[in-house]
């Protein structure tokens, strides 16, 4: 399947969803990078064909799902890394707070006596 055909199919899908096909929307849905001039050319010559909005090759849909899964895994990994960094940054603060509480408790007991 040519890039032109892929762009046409995606443009039809977007139009069927009530969205105006733009270079940015099409680029986001393409499974592989396509040169910008080629995308613009295909989009300029595109005309809406509601029935032409299904990819005949299942590989393209699989590639899109795989990319989405990878992006989701990257986000999860990043959140876990952020949480670990926050926890390690808070550890010395928690230790200092526990020390201050202990000192405060000692001062309270000393003032009571």
Model-level pTM?
A: 0.45
Compare 98 and 72 and report the one with higher pLDDT: 98
Compare 67 and 90 and report the one with higher pLDDT: 90
The pLDDT of 5-25, averaged and rounded, is 87
Per-residue pLDDT reduced to its tens digit, 32-83: 888 888 888 888 888 777 665 555 554 555 555 565 556 655 556 577 777 8
Residue 106: C-alpha distances to residues 94, 99, 112, 113 (Å): 18, 11, 10, 11
Query: In 73-85, which positions are buried (b, 16+ CB within 10 angstroms) versus exposed (e)?
Result: eeeeeeeeeeeee
CB atoms within 10 A of CB 9: 20
Res 89: pLDDT: 87
Residue closest to 30 by CA, chosen among 51, 1, 72: 1
Q: What is the largest CA-CA distance in the chain?
A: 90
The share of the chain scoring above pLDDT 70, in percent, equals: 75
pLDDT beyond 80 at 1: no
The pLDDT of 78-90, averaged and rounded, is 82
Mean pLDDT, the chain, rounded, equals 79
């Amino acid at each position: 399947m040519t890039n032109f055909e892929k762009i046409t199919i995606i443009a039809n899908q977007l139009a069927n969803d009530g969205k105006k096909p733009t270079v940015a929307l099409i680029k986001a849905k393409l499974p592989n990078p396509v040169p910008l001039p080629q995308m613009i050319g295909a989009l300029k010559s595109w005309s809406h064909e509601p029935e032409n909005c299904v990819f005949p090759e299942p590989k393209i849909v699989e590639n899109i799902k795989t990319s989405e899964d990878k992006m989701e895994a990257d986000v999860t990994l990043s959140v876990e890394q952020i949480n670990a960094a926050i926890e390690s940054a808070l550890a010395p603060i928690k230790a200092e707070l526990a020390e201050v509480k202990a000192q405060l408790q000692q001062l309270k007991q000393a003032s009571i006596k």
